[in-house]
Amino acid sequence: MLEFSGAAVRTDDGRTLLHPLTLTLSERRVSVIGPNGSGKSTFLRLVNGLLVPTSGSVAVFGRDTRSQGHAVRRSVGFVFTDPLSQLVMPTGREDVELSLRSRKLPAADRRRAGEAVLRRFGIEHLADRSIYDLSGGERQILALAVVLAVEPRVLVADEPTTLLDLRNDARVRALVAGLDQQVVFTTHNLDFALESDRTLVVDDGRIVFDGLPRDAVARYREIAATAGVGGP
C-alpha cells in the first residue's frame, strides 16, 4: 500500500519535477508510462525514499518516507535501469551476500542464503564471474536477485527492460510476473505495461491518466501523437 498525499517535487531553482499528487496504490502490478523526462523516475524514487517530496508526503504501508526513510528503503527494493549502477561488488555471489548483511545472519547461514537466492533466480552458474563479464540480461537478473534477496515488501523498478534485447526482456518480464511482491515499474515497453493491473501516464510532471493499462496506453499514444512524434 503506497500513499501519496499532495506529494510534489521541486528543484532548488523552482522547477517543478512532479506536481502535487494524491493517490493510493494497492494493486500488485502498477506500471508508469510517459515520455522521457516526464517525471516517471522522480515518481519512483519517491516510493522508496531515495527522494523525499518537497511538499506533501509519501507513506509505504503507513511509514513516512521522510521520517522513516531507512526503514522504508529496507522494505522497498529499487532496481535501476542500468544494473551496473546497482551492483557494487565484483561478483554476483558477493553482491547478493552484501544485500544479506542487513539480516545479520552468521557467515555460514548468509552464504547458504546467498546460494539459495542465486539458485532461485537460475544464476548460480554466474555466481563467481565478474559482473563485467555478464551479458546485459544476466546483469539485470542479478540486479533483481540482489534486491529481492532480502525479500522486500515492494519492488520498484525503473525501466528494468530498457537496455535488454527481446529474449532478456521476456526473461525479466516473466520474472517480475512471478514475484509475490507488489511491483511498481516504469517502462517504455507498452506490452510490459499492459501486463500490469493499473497504469499511470505521466506527462510534464503530472499524472494525466490513471486506470486500466489498455486505456492508459491509448492515452499515451494520443499524447505522443499530439506531440507530433507518432504513436510508439
Write out the binding residues for another protein, residues 76-95 only, by CB under 8 A: 77-78, 80, 84-91, 93-94
Among 150, 208, 218, 224, binds another protein (CB under 8 A): 150
Choices 9-17, 32-40, 170-178, 223-231; region in contact with another protein by CB under 8 A: 170-178
- What strand order describes the sheet that includes 63-64? 16-25, 2-10, 55-60, 63-64
Choices 12-20, 25-33, 116-124, 222-230; region in contact with another protein by CB under 8 A: 25-33
Q: Which is nearer to another protein, 48 or 168 (CB)?
A: 48
Neighbour-count burial for 72-106, b at 16+ CB within 10 Å, e otherwise:
bbebbbbbbbebeebbeeebbbbbbbbbbeeeeee
Which residues between 211 and 230 bind another protein (CB under 8 A)?
211-215
Rounded least distance, CB 211 to another protein, Å: 5
How would DSSP label each residue in 138-183?
A: HHHHHHHHHHHTT--SEEEEESTTTT--HHHHHHHHHHHHT-SSEE
Binding mask 97-136 for another protein (x = CB under 8 A): xxx-xx-x--x--xx----------------x-x-xx---
Binding of residue 27 to another protein (CB under 8 A): yes
Q: Which is nearer to another protein, 108 or 230 (CB)?
A: 108
Strands 29-33 and 182-186: parallel
Cβ pair 47, 184 in contact under 8 A: yes
Q: Which is nearer to another protein, 151 or 165 (CB)?
A: 151
